[in-house]
Structure 1
Amino acid sequence: MDILSIIGAILGLVALIGGSVLKGAGLSGLWSPAAFTIVILGTIASILLQTPMHTFRRALQIVGWVFRPPPQDHVALIALMVEWSSTARKQGLLALEPLLEQQSDPFLRKGLQMVVDGVEPETMRQMLEIESFAQNHHDIAAAKVFEGMGIYAPTLGIIGAVLGLMAVMKNLADPSKLGHGIAAAFTATIYGIASANLAFLPIASKLKGVIHRQEVEREMLIEGLIAIAEGENPRNIESRLSGFVH
């Protein structure tokens, strides 16, 4: 679990709700079905118009990484690469074949299969780099779904406020309705700005960080697998890959 994300989400809610209470607006001042419809549903509608289906589906798949990112242990991976290198130097590359079924990571399994099959190191590098680039591009596009929502939400909040003020203008003859109407109009602005800055944009940024770390991990795996294929000394492999830990 990402403890910082959990703390951030809790503090965001405390800041919003607590601020509303302390300012005298109360909890009821934050609830407006009309504002929710215009801002939240409008933001979802905008992002659906912008995003291809496979990208939106991927965004839903990875949003959980904000609170539970994929486990990453570079030190353990380096130790694994060194162990495989020692095995390959002593028993040959085919000795690594039984290890294929033990790998849950498709990228690592594919790279190890290339090593076992004796694919040329340069060819292996090109193929794995293309695979890594494609995965990174797809995941970044998914993260940008939330970035796009963070861009649309404040604008839709302004639209909601304007529509609310238009409704207020129709009741100028009844002063008793003006205060409540103006307050309800600005609730849409709160929805737009708060959802963008306390949810959508931070989520996008957090996901990009996770995706970048995964890209670095794949780069490390590529270097390690190619070194194994070239029969490099395990100590040299460990020294080379240790640079990725920092």
Structure 2
Amino acid sequence: MSHQNLWGALLLTTCLALGLFWWDQNMALVNIGALALVVGGTALAAVLSFPMSRLRQALGVAKNAYTRPSEDVGDVICSLLDLSLKSRFSGIAELSREEDRMTESYLRSGLGLLADGYGEKEIENILGNESRFFQARRSAVARVFRQMGRVAPSFGVAGSVAGLIGMLAGIGDEKSMLAAIPLALASTLYGILLQQLVFIPAAEVIENRTRDQLLVMAVIVEGLLAIKSEENPRKVERRLLSFISPAQREGTARRLAAIRQAYLDMAARRRLEMALEEDQAA
């Protein structure tokens, strides 16, 4: 989650809490029994619907989605251009030394395939399978939160029914009837709040992060295949920039120009050194 989203969430949560407190200064909406019914029922439904390994995976993915920054596709494009230029100067075999330097595991895997001499079709198939199964795993995780979002309001309604039963059972006993009313009303509210503010947003964040990561993976595959076919780095740059929006291209293009210039300077120094060596030999 970005800092802007985090601050927005905190602001809106504060406004919601203040609004409820202002409207309900006696805290009648705070009902532990209703909250336990909705949260416990939703958790039980999740346990009955999914294996524990999937639930643990869902919690881990959600935590990472909210706490870790997403991979910057511009950084990946710059890394790929750097690798393309390096392969032109030193050969593809030299790229194996760059494998440990890369922070993106998918890019490290692709560089390993390049260094091991896999063909273009093999690289495309292996990395394509990896991205497809990554998408399938993330879709399964998002389904966990969407399912919990679907059942949470149902348990809110169940709490309301339980409260109404208590009210009907307490007819003639005003104290019993009044005690059942908060459960009947608060449980529905809790179910809706959990659905709209917890479970559905979590599923959306995971799906958005998945789309971002799939874009990064597509850029990596395109770049590695271009490096394998020894395309001109300028063509590689054009191909990779086509994956991002015009707004992103401007800043990324400046960084790419700096990388190109660094290699041009390196080539100029190398030519100068070779010329000096020839003069000395003569």
**1:130-164 CA deviation, whole Å, 9 max, x = no partner?**
00110111012112211111111000100011011
State the identity %: 29
User: Higher mean Cα deviation, 7-16 or 28-37?
Assistant: 7-16
- Is residue 2:151 matched to residue 1:145? no
What is residue 79 of structure 1 aligned with on the other side? 78
CA distance in 2, matches of 1:110, 1:128: 8
Q: Describe how 1:183-194 pairs up with structure 2 within 5 A.
A: 183-194=182-193
Give the AA of the match of 2:168. M
SS at match of 1:166: helix
Question: TM-score, length-normalised on structure 2?
Answer: 0.81
- Alpha carbons of 1:187 and 1:12: their partners in 2 closer, same or farther (altered >3 Å)? farther
- Other structure's SS at 1:19 match: helix
Residues 1:38 and 2:37 aligned together: yes
1:211 equivalent in structure 2: 210
Kept in 2, the 8 Å contact 1:168–1:181? The answer is: yes
Match of 2:20 in 1: 20
Residue segments in structure 2 that go unaligned for 5+ positions in a row: 246-282
2:165 is matched with 166
Q: Distance in 2 between matches of 1:95 and 1:208?
A: 37
**CA, structure 1 residues 15+75, in 2 after alignment: closer, same or farther (shift >3 Å)?**
same
In the TM superposition, what whole-angstrom CA distance separates every residue of 1:22-47 from its partner, at most 9, and x where no partner exists?
Answer: 33x33632322221221101101111
Structure index of larger Rg: 2
Higher RCO by CA contacts (8 Å cutoff, separation 6 or greater)? 1
Deviation at 1:243, TM superposition (A): 1.4
Task: Specify the alignment match of 1:100 in structure 2.
Answer: 99
**Letter in structure 1 aligned against 2:106:** F
Matched residue of 1:118: which SS? coil
- Distance of 1:27 and 1:133 partners within structure 2: 53
Which moved further from structure 2: 230-239 or 174-183?
174-183
For 1:61 and 1:239, locate their aligned partners in 2 and report how far apart those are by CA, in whole Å: 37
The match for 1:52 is 51
Q: Which moved more, 1:47-56 or 1:110-119?
A: 47-56
What SS does the aligned partner of 2:165 have? Answer: helix
